[in-house]
Structure formats: C-alpha cells, structure tokens
C-alpha cells in the first residue's frame, strides 16, 4: 500500500509539474498578447507552446541543441522594433526596471519569446513525456541543456533581427564591464547584421565612486568582435539618472540615457 501511495503521489506531482509549466508559459503568452494588441494578430499561444515543447520533451536534459528551438522561433511572429533594441550584460534588473516603464527601449525579455520564458527552468528526460521544473541541469552543468540552448537561440535571433541604432546597458561598477564570454559578448555582438544595424552604443552605467570608464581596456575587445561596418560608440550614464528615470516614467527617454 505504501509503495502504491508513493507511486501515486509521484505520478501526480510529475503531472502537476508538466501542467504547471505549460500553464505558466501559456498564461504569460496570453497576457502578453492581451497587453500588446499589435502582436496578437499573428500569434497563437497553442501553436507556440507546441513548438516550445517539441524542442526538449523526451530528450536527455544535456542533449537539447539550440537548433531544437528553431521551430519555436519560427512560430513566434513579432517584428523587431528598429532603433529601440537594448542588450544588457550584468545589468538585468536595471535594464528591465527601465524598459518596464518605457517603450523607447525593448529587451529580449520584453518580446513575446523572452517574456514567456524569463526566469523559468525546464527539462524533460529521455523518452519521457513530462516537463520537470526542478532537478534540471544548471546553466553550466552541461552545454546543451534546455534552458541554456533556449537563451542562446533566442539571443542569436534577437541580435540577428536587430535594426537601426542599438544599445547595450553595461555595468560600470564592475572591474570588467564587458566580457567576451557573456551571451552579449559571445553571441549577440557577433550576430548583429551590418546591413541592418546602423550603430552600437554602449551605455555604461556608472556610480560616482566607480572608476570604470569608456576607456576601459575591455572595450577594444568588444570592437574586435563587432563587425567593422557597425560604428561603435560609448557613453557613460550616471546611475542616479537611470534611477531617476526608473522612478519617474514622465521623464522623456532622451533625457535618460
Ligand atoms: N550561470 C547561470 N546563468 C547564467 C550564466 C551562468 N554562468 N550566464 C548567463 N546566465 C543567464 C542568467 O539567467 C543570467 O541572468 O543569463 C543571464 C544574463 O547573464 P549576464 O552575464 O548578466 O549577461 P549576458 O550573459 O551577457 O546575457 C544577457 O543575453 O538574454 C540575452 O538579450 C539578452 O542582452 C542580454 C544578454
């Protein structure tokens, strides 16, 4: 009897896991489409979920390639907004606090694809039909894990579709504000298309006590990775100004960055 009860509990928990992950993704998808009516027309959350699921269901959690998410990427119909795409590295919270209040800049997590998945963990198992949200490999445990491969593919797509003037928010409080091994440095910079991107501006957010400036020796590395036909620019932006703009959405965007 004990074994049967445990088996039932495990079965129900696993099923709840599968359903709750689907529910979270579906609810986020519907919420996004409700709030962004211009995106609604071309998207169907059920089709998007089916494409999402097929990328990792039934696969070993260390054997999900970025390409497995190609159908998902294709299922999401959302045009890039030129001149407003914002990349970030080590500034996640600040960048999102900023874009949450303003339409002038858009991060990957403000697009339907990124919004559905931000902060979530998921994986399946070889030959399983279930989704697990715990016990999945961590970011660096193995290369081809479902979450890392997803963000890699989503970042490639976000960068490859970028157009006009794009910017990246970097952290001036760090000793090294740009890292070649970050997703921004290793994936996004390299996927910017010089036929579409007019320029890349680094917004280096600095506090009064910070010593890091636009002259930091890590920035030539960024320029080396960047296509030579994409002009590079760097601007130091006081943290207090960004903070002020986060707390007062009435301040126009051009006065913020
Ligand atoms: N361990 C765990 N999580 C990681 C790791 C890691 N080593 N590296 C990256 N991540 C995940 C985490 O979810 C983290 O919050 O990526 C996020 C961003 O990591 P950062 O180092 O701050 O930035 P970066 O690697 O440059 O990625 C940010 O990628 O998501 C896109 O468009 C987005 O421009 C942004 C960039």
ipTM: 0.92
Question: Which of 184, 185, 225 has the most ligand 1 atoms within 8 A of CB, as the residue to mutate?
Answer: 184
Question: Which of 66, 183, 202 has the most ligand 1 atoms within 8 A of CB, as the residue to mutate?
Answer: 183
Query: Are residues 141 and 60 in contact, defined by beta-carbon separation less than 8 angstroms?
Result: no
Mean pLDDT of 28-49: 93
Return the sign of the alpha-carbon dihedral for residues 171, 174, 178, 181.
negative
Using a 10 angstrom Cβ sphere, with 0-12 exposed, 13-18 middle and 19 or more buried, the burial of residue 38 is exposed
pLDDT for 128-163, tens place per residue? 999 999 999 999 999 999 999 999 999 999 999 999
Q: Which of the pair, 150 or 19, is modelled with greater confidence?
A: 150
Alpha-carbon span 251 to 241, nearest angstrom? 10
pLDDT for 166-214, tens place per residue? 999 999 999 999 999 999 999 999 999 999 999 999 999 999 999 899 9
Global pTM reads 0.93
Would you please indicate which residues are annotated as catalytic (active-site) residues? 82, 163
pLDDT above 80 (res 14): no
Which are the contacts of 219, defined by CB distance < 8 A and separation ≥ 6? 177, 178, 202, 234
What percent of the chain is predicted at pLDDT more than 70? Answer: 97
Task: Write the DSSP symbol of residue 132.
Answer: B
Alpha-carbon span 240 to 238, nearest angstrom? 5
Q: Which helix (H) or strand (E) holds 23?
A: helix 2-35
Q: Which of 160, 137, 162 minimizes the C-alpha distance to 149? A: 137
Q: Which of 181, 232, 231 minimizes the C-alpha distance to 203? A: 232
What mean pLDDT, rounded, does the chain reach? 95
Would you tell me how many other CB atoms lie within 10 Å of the CB of residue 224?
10
Rounded to the nearest whole angstrom, what is the distance from the C-alpha of residue 68 to the centroid of ligand 1? Answer: 20
Does the beta carbon of 191 lie inside 6 Å of ligand 1?
no
Does the beta carbon of 140 lie inside 6 Å of ligand 1?
yes
Does the beta carbon of 216 lie inside 6 Å of ligand 1?
no
Which are the contacts of 121, defined by CB distance < 8 A and separation ≥ 6? 133, 134, 136, 147
Query: Are residues 219 and 202 in contact, defined by beta-carbon separation less than 8 angstroms?
Result: yes
Query: Are residues 169 and 145 in contact, defined by beta-carbon separation less than 8 angstroms?
Result: no
| Predicted local confidence at residue 11, as pLDDT | 66
Query: Residue with the nearest Cα to atom 23 of ligand 1?
Result: 89
Does the beta carbon of 182 lie inside 6 Å of ligand 1?
yes
């Amino acid at each position: 009897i004990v074994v049967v009860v445990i088996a039932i509990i495990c079965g129900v928990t696993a099923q709840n896991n599968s359903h709750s992950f689907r529910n979270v993704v579906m609810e986020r998808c519907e919420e996004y489409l409700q709030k962004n009516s211009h995106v609604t027309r071309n998207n169907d959350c059920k089709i998007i979920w089916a494409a999402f699921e097929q990328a990792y269901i039934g696969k070993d959690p260390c054997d999900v390639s970025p390409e497995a998410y190609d159908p998902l990427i294709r299922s999401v119909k959302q045009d890039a907004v030129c001149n407003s795409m914002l990349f970030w590295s080590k500034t996640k919270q600040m960048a999102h606090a900023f874009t949450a209040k303003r339409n002038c800049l858009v991060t990957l997590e403000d697009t339907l694809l990124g919004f559905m998945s931000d902060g979530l963990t998921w994986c399946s198992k070889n030959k399983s039909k279930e989704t697990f949200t715990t016990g999945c490999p961590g970011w660096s445990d193995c290369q081809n894990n479902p979450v890392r491969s997803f963000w890699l593919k989503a970042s490639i797509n976000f960068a490859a579709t970028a157009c006009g003037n794009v910017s990246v928010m970097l952290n001036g409080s760090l000793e090294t504000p740009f890292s070649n091994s970050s997703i921004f440095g290793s994936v996004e910079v390299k996927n910017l298309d010089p036929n579409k991107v007019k320029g890349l501006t680094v917004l280096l957010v600095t506090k009064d006590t910070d010593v890091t400036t636009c002259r930091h020796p890590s920035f030539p590395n960024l320029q080396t990775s960047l296509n030579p036909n994409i002009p590079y620019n760097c601007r130091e932006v006081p943290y207090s100004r960004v903070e002020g703009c986060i707390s007062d959405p009435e301040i126009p965007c051009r006065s913020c960055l």
